[in-house]
Amino acid sequence: MLAIIGAMVVMTWQHGKNRALTQLLEDSKTQDAIHVDRLFDLEQENADLMEYIMTLETDNSILGSCCANGGMDVDTNFIY
């Protein structure tokens, strides 16, 4: 009789523990999905920033070559 009661208590405890772990697993899956979405958003943002950096480097190269060729002299900027 005592063994049956003990077995029922253990079964009830195991069932509760199983439910708690199942809920924890579902919460982890939800968090993983959120993290994956955030990762893709950050990768897109990184690609956009890299494109912007490349544009700035191109502009900087153009300005540097202009200055190296005397493009900033007063008499070359204004037509009299």
Chain segment 29-79, per-residue pLDDT in tens: 999 999 999 999 999 999 999 999 999 999 888 887 777 666 555 555 555
Q: Hey, where are the domains in the chain?
A: 2-62
Q: What's the Cα-to-Cα distance from 51 to each of 46, 47, 56, rounded to whole Å?
A: 9, 6, 9
pTM: 0.57
Rounded Cα distance, 72 and 63, in Å: 10
Close Cβ partners of 12 (under 8 Å, ≥ 6 residues apart): none
